[in-house]
Chains A and B, each alone.
Chain A
Amino acid sequence: MADADEGVKPANGKPETKLLDELEKGPWPSFVTEIKSAQGVTGGAEDLLGQLELSYEDKVSHWKHGGLVGVLGYGGGVIGRYSDVGEQFPKVAHFHTLRVNQPAGWFYTSEALRTISDIWERHGSGLTNMHGSTGDMILLGTTTDHLEATFQELTHAGFDLGGSGSAVRTPSCCVGMARCEWACFDAMKLCYDLTMAYQDELHRPALPYKFKIKCSACPNDCVAAIARADLSVIGTWKDDIRIDQAEVANYATAGVDIQKDICANCPTRCMDWNGKELNIKNRDCVRCMHCINAMPKALRPGVEKGAVILIGAKAPILQGALLSSVLIPFVAADELLDTLKELIQRIWDFWDEYGTNRERIGELIQRVGLAAFLDGIGLDPAPEMVSAPRDNPYIYYQPAKEDEA
């Protein structure tokens, strides 16, 4: 119902939401409030609220387990979902989700957003989730017979589905150079180039399990690549932090306690302030960004820019959560794409060969050991790969292979 005006009452009236209303209290944003604001558009919001209220009463989910639907030519991008109380809530009886590949950095024109909303009110519930944790736009709730039509209209408007299942998931990135002076490489371009390079792997799942790629252009890591991506690309610099001493002095005059707020909070205590001049022992700097964030006018990343490539983060599913660990300590910005393509191929070959079904790359590395993994992909171990030195001297130390031979 694309032409439904605001304020049109749904035919079946608004659902009772006594329990859900609790989630609207307090100072925080509330998904309940958001869904309620979509009432009167397609009827999807009403039945979704109704079913959710029932779930809270019954203390069980009323979504059935799994569903397998899709569009022709693609093996992913649509997640099938069915309600087990569909007769009571017909508008959510079939409630499939479409993932739509977001533009790099999430820049939209108002017109693009309107186009998508219009398509989705014609073919789905009108409800969206901007954005899902992979970065895609999430269009919530449609039926099987609307999938092909939605897909066609989306592609016509210049959009494509994102990844789902055991595939390359839609790569995502921070806004990078579009807005941010700290960007150490062009994250948006890299994200776009990777997306285009892996179209086949994105749309037609054939990996042991999901593979997420995220790019942040500086160590602030605004897309949380280190915690959420199997392959994290995080901007960094190789040379020294650029210091504008006059601006440091200005901060001091303006009341910033350089010693207490800047130097004492440096995690490696590699900064020194003598009241006139700020000195940084750059070899001890761990690129935490604290000092730069605190005094953006005075400090900037160096000029030799690039990124560190890390591997293996994931949320807890079978095993606990993992953070990515360093795989390549530094790649110059202009070599990033080629290096990544080569590296990803080697990682997939290894994963293909040794990964079990539904084993994330990080879990595989834990299982076989970092040494075996590095050996398999042809990388030499480097000190940067060790996040912390051994703190227990009683661990048995396995001599390196060369020593044995």
Chain B
Amino acid sequence: MPTFEVEGKKYDVDEDGFLQEPDLWTEDVAKDFAKSESIDALTDGHWKVINYIRNYYLQFGIAPMVRKVCKETGYKLSEIYQLFPSGPAKGACKLAGLPKPTGCV
């Protein structure tokens, strides 16, 4: 199983770098994963998106549709891509500790 290492910490991840055990997520995970997604530092904007996705996942067990993310966070799609350059699915969901989305986001 691949691992992702940062500052001495090790995470079990899948081939695409998604956390293997979504239950092990903490805010530190998001911070640690940020660098691997070309994000220098997490701002309030990032957290707004991450927290929304995380809470949606905890409630419904899946990732929200992109449209919903935009609507609920008030960000346009282009702004989401500015926050997460690799996009809502690969970037935001990974930082929110979701298992790899299969085509939802």
Contact = CB atoms under 8 A, between A and B. Distances in A.
A322 to B, nearest CB: 20
Interface stretch (A73-81, A121-129, A275-283, A284-292): A73-81
A357 B90 contact: no
B66 A205 contact: yes
A369 to B, nearest CB: 23
A204 interface: yes
Contact of B104 (A73, A74, A82, A357): A357
Contacts of A71: 86
Contacts of B67: 206, 352
- A interface bracket (residues with beta carbon within 8 Å of B): 20 to 34
B103 A165 contact: yes
A206 B70 contact: yes
A75 B90 CA distance: 8
A200 B78 CA distance: 8
B22 interface: no
B54 interface: no
Of A72, A75, A358, the most chain B CB neighbours within 10 A belong to A75
A74 B102 CA distance: 17
A206 B76 CA distance: 11
Interface string A186-208: 00000000000000100011101
Given A68-B18, A70-B87, A74-B87, A208 B65 contact: yes
A69 interface: yes
Given A166-B103, A358-B103, A72 B16 contact: no
A149 to B, nearest CB: 15
Interface in A50-74: 64, 66-74
Contacts of B101: 68
Given A200-B77, A206-B67, A69 B90 contact: yes
A82 B66 CA distance: 25
- B interface bracket (residues with beta carbon within 8 Å of A): 20 to 34
B15 A82 contact: yes
Contact of A68 (B70, B77, B85, B90): B90
Given A67-B15, A206-B66, A357-B65, A75 B102 contact: no
Contact of B85 (A67, A72, A94, A144): A72
A69 B16 contact: yes
A68 B89 CA distance: 8
Given A68-B90, A75-B89, A80 B16 contact: yes
Of B18, B86, B87, B90, the most chain A CB neighbours within 10 A belong to B87
Interface string A350-372: 00100001100000000000000
B26 interface: no
A204 B84 CA distance: 12
Contacts of B77: 200, 204, 206
Interface string B37-66: 010000000000000000000000000011
A390 B40 CA distance: 63
A314 to B, nearest CB: 16
Contact of B90 (A70, A208, A358): A70
A68 B16 contact: yes
Nearest to B63: A357
Interface in B69-99: 70, 77-78, 81, 85-90
Interface string A323-348: 00000000000000000000000000
B81 A73 contact: yes
A169 to B, nearest CB: 14
A357 B68 CA distance: 11
Contacts of B81: 73, 75, 204
B86 A70 contact: yes
Nearest to A71: B86
A352 B70 CA distance: 13
B44 to A, nearest CB: 22
A146 to B, nearest CB: 15
A72 B86 contact: yes
Contacts of B18: 68
Contact of A66 (B66, B70, B90, B100): B100
A162 to B, nearest CB: 16
Nearest to B78: A200
Nearest to A356: B65
A246 B76 CA distance: 63
Interface string B20-32: 0000000000000
Contacts of B90: 68-70, 75
Nearest to B38: A72
B15 to A, nearest CB: 5
6 contacts: A66-B100, A70-B90, A80-B16, A144-B16, A204-B77, A206-B66
